[in-house]
């Protein structure tokens, strides 16, 4: 107690100044409108930014969980699109849709390793044969076509992307139905080429290029890119068409493996047809 009184006696002038200063500021902010509003505005601004920062940290920590949930929801919604359904009876349509069944199923996956600057580029994804992934299945993202499954292990798979030599994905110009194949010249990862289109066809800039669906790897109408230029190939009745890919292969992280329920039936029929024609 003696020390406390000695402390007050020693610093009595400073303590009195602090007390009077506090009273003055309190009265200033209480009775004058403009300073009070400025104080409240500043306090709200600081606290608002503090809450925003905390919320951003929380969202970042839950980002993986939220992305997985969104990916599963996309699978559910995508499976309901008309191009993923197989019509069982082509003469009647009922409201409860019992005349259709799912032809294309989508398996969500993450890209865990990738290349985009080589002549032949690949993605590694985190699902494999244990999740019913097979060689030859198509792979897409929320924006468009990614590539085709090349090799599969129990829990992983390697995807041959559109950025490979002779990728040969069947494609068509959405507005005209003219069809050809997707190629990549090994230069810019943003651009590919559409080959096999006759120069009798009218080509318009920014026309959408989508999957044709003929090979069974993809349903028809999945985006591949948009036409940015077209030049007649010298000495050939064909267009040299450059397209801007729908997906940025440098940044893609979440993908879907496309499982066609009828792919084996189609492959067996086409193989039988080819064998009978060669005999």
Cα–Cα distances in angstroms (integers) from residue 256 to residues 84, 134, 156, 184, in the given order = 14, 13, 13, 22
Domain 66-271: which CATH class?
A: mainly beta
Q: Give the DSSP H or E segment for 107.
A: strand 104-114
* 5 vs 87, residue with greater confidence: 5
The model's pLDDT over 226-260, given as tens digits with 9 standing for 90+, comes to: 999 999 998 899 999 999 999 999 999 899 999 98
pLDDT at residue 60 greater than cutoff 70: no
- What pLDDT, in 10s, does the model give residues 22-40? 777 676 656 555 555 555 4
Kindly report the average pLDDT of the chain as a whole number: 78
Residues 6 or more apart in contact with residue 153 via CB below 8 angstroms: 128, 129
Residue 75 CA to residue 211 CA, distance in Å, equals 19
pTM: 0.65
Q: Which of 166, 171, 163 is nearest to 223 (CA)?
A: 171
Domain borders along the chain are 2-61, 66-271
What are 168-205's pLDDT values in tens digits?
Answer: 899 999 999 999 999 998 989 999 999 999 998 899 99
pLDDT score, position 215: 75
Least confident of 2-11, 140-149, 156-165: 2-11
| Residue 7 scores a pLDDT above 80 | no
């Amino acid at each position: 107690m003696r020390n406390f009184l000695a402390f007050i006696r020693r610093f009595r002038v400073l303590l009195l100044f602090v007390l009077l200063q506090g009273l003055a500021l309190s009265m200033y902010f209480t009775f004058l409108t403009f300073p009070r509003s400025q104080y409240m505005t500043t306090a709200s601004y600081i606290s608002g930014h503090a809450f925003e920062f905390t919320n951003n940290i929380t969202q970042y920590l839950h980002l993986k969980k939220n992305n997985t949930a969104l990916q599963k929801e996309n699978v559910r919604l995508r499976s309901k699109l008309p191009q993923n359904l197989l019509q069982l009876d082509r003469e009647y349509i009922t409201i409860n849709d019992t005349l259709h069944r799912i032809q294309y199923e989508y398996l969500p996956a993450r890209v865990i390793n990738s290349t985009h600057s080589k002549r032949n580029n690949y993605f590694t994804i985190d699902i494999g044969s244990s999740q019913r992934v097979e060689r030859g299945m198509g792979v897409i993202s929320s924006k468009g076509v990614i590539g085709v499954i090349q090799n599969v292990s129990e829990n992983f798979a390697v995807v041959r992307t559109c950025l490979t030599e002779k990728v040969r994905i069947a494609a068509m110009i959405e507005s005209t139905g003219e069809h050809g194949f997707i190629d990549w010249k090994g230069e810019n990862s943003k651009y590919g080429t559409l080959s096999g289109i006759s120069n009798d066809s009218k080509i318009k800039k920014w026309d959408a290029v989508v999957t044709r669906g003929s090979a069974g790897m993809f349903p028809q109408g999945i985006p591949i890119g948009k036409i940015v230029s077209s030049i007649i190939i010298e000495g050939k009745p064909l267009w040299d068409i450059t397209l801007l890919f729908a997906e940025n292969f440098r940044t893609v992280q979440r993908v879907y493996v496309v499982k066609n329920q009828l792919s084996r039936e189609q492959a067996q029929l086409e193989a039988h047809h080819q064998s009978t024609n060669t005999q």
